[in-house]
């Protein structure tokens, strides 16, 4: 389904930018923080999208996606977490595991896909840049600060602050030295608002890390407020349940 003008306007007041051409499937239930921008993409995940992340047009975030972290840049045409098919069975067709639409409810109850064959959900870390037309397969975890070059097919996990490219995606190089990466992982700068990061010399990595360490020690960095909404075919609603909020924000401690 697509959202009407009223829902889009209500989302904007909550700090969430939705595109009128965005499509949300019936199965979708997305936990989303304010300051997220979602263009004309197709969402079918039961997962989450963190603050200051944006998804550009023409992509698909499918049901095998668990989370997209904060400050992520998702380029046009990206597909994440689509379904998987067996390669060593009699056939690749989903009738074998009683997929919806091919069998009756009774048949489905007795012919479920074996749990051992289901790959883990896709997890995208924070400050991840995924280039145009990338495909991220089920079971993949992409670490904080990683970069995936345009047109790549990601079949394996990507370590934090690593650049990968190709079909299948292979390591090109780490973004920084091991020492800088260790310090960045300890800083977790994505816990904080952009306003409290202003003035950091972003283009000089050693100076930037040192300045962030100084601000963190001085406690001048402002944490992103713990505000959470749920996006579904029923519209956008605030998440008030403490258990659900606690589970979500536990990753940002």
Q: Point out the least confidently predicted range of 26-30, 52-56, 90-94.
A: 90-94
131 plus 169 within the same structural domain = yes
First to last CA, the chain: 35
Residue 181 has a pLDDT of 99
- 76-93 mean pLDDT: 88
Q: Are residues 94 and 200 both part of a single domain? A: no
Tell me, yes or no, whether 168 and 201 share the same domain.
Answer: no
pLDDT band at 183 (very low <50, low <70, confident <90, very high): very high
3-state helix/strand/coil string of 113-158: CCHHHCCCCEEECCCCEECCCCEECCCCEECCCCEECCCCEECCCE
Q: CATH number of the domain that 148 lies in?
A: 2.160.10.10
User: Which residue from 100, 101, 57, 47 is spatially nearest to 79, judged by alpha carbons?
Assistant: 57
Per-residue pLDDT reduced to its tens digit, 110-153: 766 665 567 899 999 999 999 999 999 999 999 999 999 999 99
Percent of the chain with pLDDT over 70: 95
User: Does residue 140 sit in the same domain as residue 229?
Assistant: yes
What's the structural domain count of the chain?
A: 3
DSSP letter for each residue of 9-21 = HHHHHTTEEE-TT
Whether 85 is catalytic is: yes
Residues 155, 204 within the same domain: no
Query: Which has more confidence, 96 or 247?
Result: 247
Q: Do residue 3 and residue 51 come from a single domain?
A: yes
Least confident of 16-20, 152-156, 239-243: 239-243
Mean pLDDT for the chain?
92
Token output for 218: 């001085």
Question: Tokens for 122?
Answer: 């896709």
Residue 4 or 35, more confident: 35
Closest to 49 measured CA to CA, from 65, 62, 67: 67
Question: Do 107 and 56 fall into the same domain?
Answer: no
**pLDDT tops 70 at residue 241:** yes
CA atoms within a 13 Å half-sphere pointing along the CA-CB vector of 2: 9
For residues 33-57, give the mean pLDDT: 96
Q: Which whole number is the average pLDDT over 199-222?
A: 98
7 CB burial (10 A radius; 0-12, 13-18, 19+): middle
Is the per-residue pLDDT at 34 higher than 80? yes
Domain co-membership, 13 together with 53: yes
Percent of the chain with pLDDT over 90: 74
Q: Is there a single domain that holds both residue 43 and residue 158? A: yes
User: 101: domain range?
Assistant: 85-118
| Residue 12 pLDDT class (50, 70, 90 cuts) | very high
Q: Comparing 14-23, 78-87, 107-116, 217-226, which segment has the lowest mean pLDDT?
A: 107-116
- 91 and 155 both lie in a single domain: no
pTM beyond 0.75: the answer is yes
Statement to judge: residues 126 and 53 lie in one domain = yes
pLDDT for 142: 99
Q: Return the pLDDT at 115.
A: 55
> Is the pLDDT reported for residue 105 higher than 90?
no
pLDDT value of position 180:
99
Contacting residues for 243 by C-beta, under 8 A, at least 6 apart: none
Shared domain check, 206 and 93: no
> What distance in Å separates the CA atoms of residue 118 and residue 66, rounded to the nearest whole number?
14
């Amino acid at each position: 389904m697509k959202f009407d003008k009223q829902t889009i306007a209500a989302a904007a007041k909550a700090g969430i930018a939705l595109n009128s051409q965005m499509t949300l499937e019936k199965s979708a239930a997305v936990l989303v923080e304010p300051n997220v921008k979602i263009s004309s993409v197709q969402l079918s995940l039961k997962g989450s999208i963190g603050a200051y992340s944006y998804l550009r047009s023409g992509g698909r975030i499918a049901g095998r996606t668990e989370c997209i972290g904060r400050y992520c840049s998702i380029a046009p045409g990206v597909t994440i977490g689509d379904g998987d098919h067996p390669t060593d069975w009699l056939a690749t067709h989903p009738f074998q595991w009683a997929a919806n639409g091919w069998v009756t409810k009774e048949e489905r109850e007795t012919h479920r896909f074996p749990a051992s064959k289901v790959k883990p959900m896709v997890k995208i870390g924070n400050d991840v840049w995924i280039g145009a037309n990338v495909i991220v397969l089920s079971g993949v975890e992409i670490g904080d600060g990683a970069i995936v070059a345009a047109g790549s097919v990601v079949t394996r996990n990507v370590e934090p602050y690593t650049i990968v490219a190709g079909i299948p995606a292979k390591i090109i190089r780490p973004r920084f030295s091991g020492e800088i990466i260790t310090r960045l992982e300890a800083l977790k700068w994505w816990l904080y608002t952009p306003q409290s990061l202003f003035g950091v010399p972003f283009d000089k990595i050693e100076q930037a890390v040192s300045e962030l360490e100084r601000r963190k020690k001085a406690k001048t960095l402002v944490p992103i407020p713990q505000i959470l909404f749920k996006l579904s075919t029923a519209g956008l609603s605030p998440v008030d349940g403490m258990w659900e909020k606690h589970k979500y924000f536990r990753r940002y401690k």
